[in-house]
Amino acid sequence: MSRGLIVAIDGPSGVGKGTIARRVAARLGYRHVDTGAMYRAVAWAAANAGIPLDAEPRVAQLAAAATIHVSDDLVEINGHDVTGAIRTPDIDRGASAVARLPAVRAILVERQRALGAGGAIVMEGRDIGTVVFPAADVKVYLDAAPEERARRRAADPAHAGHATRLLLAEVAAELDARDRADTTRQSSPLMPAADAHVIDTTGLSIDEVTKTVLQIAGSRQ
């Protein structure tokens, strides 16, 4: 192929999208983009500005004007380093609320398409293979049993914070609420693309899942 592949990795919270996407991108020598961080950054900026997260025109205006930088080590919005600030239960909920706003999704999807237009990218999110890049070269949908997802999220210091680990019951309830919000939203609901490779990661190691995704990508090169 004349350009690198567009690899779309979708799935709900707690399935290891970020870890797998980063590893696959590193192995392929591709750029990795976490689209969820973009929604989180907008939610943070809106909350910081005192804008209600259901005020669609105002949140969309903020998103359209915002300068957002997302990399593996840094997330910035309008020059503010929000790398750690966006990984909290409050911003989890805020990102879910922002993601339900069609006007905001339209703005961020356009930016995501621009980022991946040249290929050689691994993009993770919830609608990459269905909406952002429906013609992606590789589509993967990661899933796992609810209890496994809760265990992983509770043990993740990026989400549990520095002072304490979240209780499994609390995490499970948060994940269930996010799942319902993501799968029932009118705009770009969470679902596997019809032609996605669905991988149940329950009981699988990070290396095993990474190897499987790389094998799928290798078959398209």
> Number of folded domains in the chain?
1
pTM: 0.90
Chain length of the chain: 221
Instruction: Specify the pLDDT at position 160.
Output: 52
Question: Coil, strand, or helix at residue 110?
Answer: helix
| Nearest-angstrom CA–CA distance, 175 and 160 | 13
CATH number, domain of 28, equals 3.40.50.300
CB atoms within 10 A of CB 71: 13
Q: Angle between the 17-28 and 206-218 helix axes, to the nearest 10 degrees?
A: 50
Beta-carbon count within 10 A of 108 CB: 24
- What is the model's pLDDT at position 153? 83
> Does residue 58 lie within any of the structural domains?
yes
Q: Is residue 29 part of a domain?
A: yes
Residue 1 falls within a domain, yes or no? no
pLDDT at 166: 57
Q: Are 116 and 132 in contact (CB under 8 A)?
A: yes
List the domain range (segments joined by +) for residue 120: 6-218
Q: What is the pLDDT along the chain (221 residues), one digit of tens a residue?
A: 457 999 999 999 889 999 999 999 999 999 999 999 999 999 999 999 999 999 999 999 999 999 999 999 999 999 999 999 999 889 989 999 999 999 999 999 999 999 999 999 999 999 999 999 999 999 999 999 999 999 888 877 666 553 345 578 888 888 888 888 889 888 889 999 999 999 999 999 999 999 999 999 998 87
| pLDDT for residue 157 | 67
Q: What pLDDT does 127 receive?
A: 96
Q: Is residue 108 part of a domain?
A: yes
Cα atoms found within 13 Å of the Cα of residue 109, Cβ hemisphere only: 19
